[in-house]
């Protein structure tokens, strides 16, 4: 089983739970797909795009269950990142856990990925 991860705000996730699907954060909507990271990429993604930001969740989905709408495309430094070209259903989520903020502004991934 290969997990991929979405970092989202608690408010974004609450809206997804209310509607039954996650349509994307503003950056996802602007780009036309939902940005995900692998376990190896998630910490760098958090540092680059969410540094110092509290109230976040790490959301895990099973890559193989997302179908053909999931594409692996080059991004940061030529690395392949998972991009989902559709909303995902909250029922597709394996878990959503708080992503704690350390005193130095970085996020604590210990035990999450």
Domain span including residue 14: 3-98
Give the C-alpha separation, 34 to 28, whole Å: 5
Q: Average pLDDT of each block of 10 consecutive residues along the chain (113 residues)? A: 95 98 96 96 94 96 96 90 98 97 92 83
CA 102 to chain centre: 19
Separation between Cα atoms, residue 49 and residue 98, nearest integer Å? 17
Residue 89: what pLDDT? 97
Query: What is the CATH classification number for the domain harbouring 91?
Result: 3.20.170.20
Number of folded domains in the chain? 1
42, part of any domain:
yes
Asked, for residue 106, whether it belongs to a domain, the answer is no
Decide: 112 and 99 in contact? Cβ < 8 Å.
yes
In a domain, 107, yes or no: no
User: Environment class of residue 94 by beta-carbon count within 10 Å: exposed (0-12), middle (13-18) or buried (19+)?
Assistant: exposed
* Of 84, 93, 90, the residue nearest 37 (C-alpha): 84
pTM score, two decimals? Answer: 0.94
């Amino acid at each position: 089983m290969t997990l991929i991860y979405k970092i989202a705000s608690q408010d974004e996730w609450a809206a997804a739970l209310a509607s039954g699907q996650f349509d994307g954060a503003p950056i996802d909507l602007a780009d036309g797909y939902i940005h995900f990271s692998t376990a190896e990429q998630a910490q760098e993604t958090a540092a680059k795009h969410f540094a110092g930001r509290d109230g976040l969740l790490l959301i895990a989905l099973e890559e193989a269950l997302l179908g053909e709408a999931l594409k692996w495309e080059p991004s940061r430094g030529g690395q392949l990142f998972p991009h989902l070209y559709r909303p995902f259903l909250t029922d597709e989520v394996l878990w959503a856990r708080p992503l704690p903020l350390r005193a130095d502004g970085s996020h604590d991934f210990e035990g999450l990925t």
